[in-house]
Structure 1
Amino acid sequence: KTKRAILKAGNVITSPKHTYTVVKLLGSGGFGDVYLVEDDASKARYALKTEFYGAVKTLFSRLKIEAHVLEKCTRAPEHGRKHFLTLKDKGTTSDFKASSAPLVRGRSQKGRSQTVPGLGPQQETCIFMLDFGIAREFKNPNGTLRKPRENIPFLGTPRFASRACHRKEEQSPKDDVEVWIFMVFDLFDIVSGIPWKGDSDRALILKKKDALMTGQKLPTKRCPKDFLRVVTYIGKLEYVDTPDYAWMMSVCDHMAKQLKVDISDNAVDWAGKTSGPP
C-alpha cells in the first residue's frame, strides 16, 4: 500500500459548486482522511473526507459507495433519514476523490476519545450513522434478496466484525445486529466485555466469537442477563433471515424497566456536555 499524502492547513480544494480551505486534519483511517474545511463563500465549516488514487488497492471506491448511500438517504422519507448526515458536496481532483458533510459535534475524554452525536443543541441527542465505505446493498431493486457472493475479502475491524466476515461469507442485516452486540458488550465492560480484546489472530477471534454467540453465558456480569436472549437469537440466524427488531427492542425495554433506567432521548450521558464545531 502506497503512503498517501496529507493535506496541509491552507490548501484549497475546489469543486464545481464550492471552494474549501483546509483548516486541519481531523482523523485518518485505513482508506482515507477526514479534514475540517471552511467554505470560502459562506464561511461554514464541514468535514471533508478524501480518498487518494492508488493509496489503497481495492476493487471499488469506498468514498463512491459512501456518497451513494448518503444520496439515497437524502431521497428517503423524513422519518427514514433522521439519523443520517446530508451529503453537502462531492467531486474529484487530479489526486483524490472527496465528499463533504456537516460536522458532528464532539469532545475527547481523558484516556478515551469518542465522537459525541449531534449537530447542534437541538440535535444533541440524535445518534448519527457515519462511514459507509464498506456498505453493500443486500436487496435487488425489486426487493428480493441478492444472491450471496463467495470468498469475500475481509473488510472491517477484527474486534467488531461479524463471524460471516471472518468466514469470507456474504453479510446481511443479522450481521449488523451481531456487530452491535459486540459493541454493546464493549460498552458495558471495556476491560473484559469482549473476550478476544487484545487478540490479533483472526482464527482465534472467530473461535471466541462462535463460543459467545452460541453459548449460554454472558462475557460480563455488568450486562443484564436477559440480553443473552438477543445474543442466542441472533447467533442462530442465517443470511436469508430478517431479524425481529420489534422483539429485540421489547427485550431492551424490559431490561431498562427492570433496572429502572430512563431510555428517553433526553437521558443520554452527553446531553449538555458536547462542544461546538472545532
Structure 2
Amino acid sequence: MSKRNYSPNGLKRNTLHKADMQKDKQPKSITPGTKQTRATTTGRKKPALLKPYSKIKSKTDNVWRILAHIGSGGFGDVYKCELEGCSSDEFFAMKTESHTAKMARLRIELQILEEITAYCIRKQCPHHFCNLMDSGNTLDFFWIVMTLIGPSLQTIRKILHKQFSKTTTLKMSLQILDALKILHDVGFIHRDLKPGNVCVGVPPGDDHVLYLLDFGISRRIYRSAKSRELRKERKKVPFFGTRKFCTRACHLELDQGRKDDVETWIYTTLDLLHNDKGLPWANCFSDPAKVLEKKLALFENPSKELHTCVPQQFCTIIEYVRKLNFEDEVDYAFIETEIHNIAKERNLNLKDKFDWKGRLEELIKDNEASKHNRKKEKDEDKGEETLMMERLQQKLKNNKIADEHQNDRTFSKDDYISEGNKHKDTETRKLRKKHQTKGALNSESTTKKNVLDERNF
C-alpha cells in the first residue's frame, strides 16, 4: 500500500505522494476504455455499471473479476468480486467512485480502513471493520476491494418481519459501541451511524459479528495521524448526516466530536429496540423542525420523552452524554455497565444467539425470491442515503416522495434547493437560531475560530 502525506492540519483529500499520483494516473483496467455513463434519478451522470465477468487489474497485478452488482450509494457502486487465480471460494466487495464525483470520499475511506487495520493488528482487538485488500484506478473511477460482509441490520429487520428481541438488541448495541471505541481511539468520528451502516458477517460462520462501514463523511478528530492533540472546535459546520439518526449538534450546524457518535449510537439502539416506539420522532420526518425539537426535548427530560418499552437505564446514559463537551473523552465502560445492568435486571442472557443465527441464509434466499419484497425494499431503500450539507429547511424537488423515504436518508446537496433560495423552513431556522450556542448542548467550550474545510477530514 502506498504511503500517505500527512499535513499539520490533518489529511487532505487525495493526499498521495507525487510518485503514487503518477502511478494512479495510469489506469490498470482490463475493461473497455471507453467512458460509458448512465443517468441517475438526480439527473447526474455516473459511470455505466460493470458487466459480470469484467476484470480489473491493480498495480500489484491482482486481477479482480466482477461477479454481480450489489448496490449503489451516494458515492458510487458496490460489486461482488473474486480474485482471479485464487483456488478458494472466497468472495470480496469492490467499491467504486467516479473521478467526476463532487465529493471524492472513497480515498478517505481507504485511508481510514488502512489505519484501522494497522491498529487492530497492533492491539490484537476485535475487528468490527472490513479488511482492506486492494485499491486502484480505471479511466472512469477509483476503486477499493475489501472483505465481503452480509446484510445490514436494517435489511435483516425487514426480512425477519418482526422486532428484534431485547437480548439481540443489547448484544448489537455492545458490539456497535465497541466499534465506535476503536474508531475513536484510531482518531476518527463516524458522523453517520445508523442500522443501515452496520452489517453482519457472511453467514453461517461470521454472522455473529457486526461490522461498521461507510466512512464517506467521517472526520479525523486529531490534528494529524501521529498527533493526539484534538482539533479546534469549529463554530459552524454544514449539515452532514442522516435526519433520523443525526445529533442535535448536526441539526444546529455545530461541530461534532466523539460524544456525538455516542448520541447517534443512542438513537440507533433505540430504533433497533423498536422501530415505531423507540424514537420519539419516528413518525414526523416530514417536519425537520419537529425532529430537532423532539431530540432537544429528549435530552432535556428523557424519562418523559421515552416510551415505556425503553429500559430506564437509557435515561441515565442520555443524561451522561448531555453533560459531555465537544473535547471530552467518552466513558465507554460506564455505558457498557448500564447495558449489562439492563440484561441483569430483565434476566437476559447476553450469550444467547442473535435472532437470525442459523437461518439468515434461508431468509435472504426467500427474500430475494419475492418480487414483491424486492420492489418494496427498492422504495424503502431511498431512505438509506445520507443528507450532505442539507440545511433541514430545503425541500425535496419531488414533493410526492413519502415521509418513509426521507426518514433515514443521507441526501446529496444536489437533491435539494439551496438554503439561499426561496424555500426555507422558518420553524427550523428559528429553532437553530435559538439553540445554536454551546450552552444548548451543555458545552462550555469558548472556541472562537471558525475553520470550515470539509475537504480536510
Q: Give the TM-score normalised by the residue count of structure 2.
A: 0.55
1:128 is matched with 211
Name which of structure 1's ranges 116-125 and 148-157 shifts more when overlaid on structure 2: 116-125
Confirm or deny: 8 A CA contact 1:192 1:220 kept in the other structure: yes
1:84 is matched with 129
Name which of structure 1's ranges 191-200 and 225-234 shifts more when overlaid on structure 2: 191-200
Give the drift of 1:86.
Answer: 0.8
d(CA) in 2 for partners of 1:174, 1:248? 12
Q: Secondary structure at the residue paired with 2:243?
A: coil
1:209 is matched with 295
The answer on 1:101 being equivalent to 2:184 is no
Specify every segment of 5 or more residues in structure 2 that has no aligned partner in the other structure, as ranges.
Answer: 1-41, 163-194, 366-457
Confirm or deny: 8 A CA contact 2:97 2:143 kept in the other structure: yes
Q: Give the TM-score normalised by the residue count of structure 1.
A: 0.88
Matches within 5 A, 1:189-228: 189-197=274-282, 198-216=284-302, 217-228=304-315
Q: Larger relative contact order (C-alpha < 8 A, sep ≥ 6)?
A: 2
CA displacement, residues 42-89 of structure 1 (integer Å, 9 cap, x when unaligned): 16421111111224x23xx21111111110112112433521211011
d(CA) in 1 for partners of 2:269, 2:238? 26
2:321 is matched with 234
Q: What amino acid is the match of 2:262?
A: V
Specify every segment of 5 or more residues in structure 1 that has no aligned partner in the other structure, as ranges.
Answer: none
d(CA) in 1 for partners of 2:327, 2:237? 17
Q: What amino acid is the match of 1:175?
A: D
Structure with a larger share of its residues in helix: 2
Confirm or deny: 8 A CA contact 1:172 1:239 kept in the other structure: yes
Q: What amino acid is the match of 1:172?
A: G
Match 1:162 to one of 247, 257, 269: 247
d(CA) in 2 for partners of 1:139, 1:81? 23
Q: What amino acid is the match of 1:145?
A: L
Change beyond 3 A, Cα 1:116–1:174:
closer
Q: Secondary structure at the residue paired with 2:50?
A: coil
Name which of structure 1's ranges 86-95 and 144-153 shifts more when overlaid on structure 2: 144-153
Match 1:28 to one of 57, 69, 72: 72
Q: What amino acid is the match of 2:243?
A: P
Change beyond 3 A, Cα 1:181–1:135:
same
2:344 is matched with 257
Q: Secondary structure at the residue paired with 1:134?
A: coil
Confirm or deny: 8 A CA contact 2:222 2:231 kept in the other structure: yes
| Aligned-pair Cα RMSD in Å | 2.5
Q: Secondary structure at the residue paired with 1:230?
A: helix
Name which of structure 1's ranges 41-50 and 254-263 shifts more when overlaid on structure 2: 41-50
d(CA) in 2 for partners of 1:81, 1:131? 18
Confirm or deny: 8 A CA contact 1:23 1:37 kept in the other structure: yes
Q: Secondary structure at the residue paired with 2:259?
A: helix
Confirm or deny: 8 A CA contact 1:90 1:100 kept in the other structure: yes
The answer on 1:62 being equivalent to 2:108 is no
d(CA) in 1 for partners of 2:361, 2:124? 26
Confirm or deny: 8 A CA contact 1:84 1:128 kept in the other structure: yes
Confirm or deny: 8 A CA contact 1:22 1:37 kept in the other structure: yes
CA displacement, residues 130-178 of structure 1 (integer Å, 9 cap, x when unaligned): 1111111112333121112342221221111111122222211101110
Name which of structure 1's ranges 195-204 and 127-136 shifts more when overlaid on structure 2: 195-204
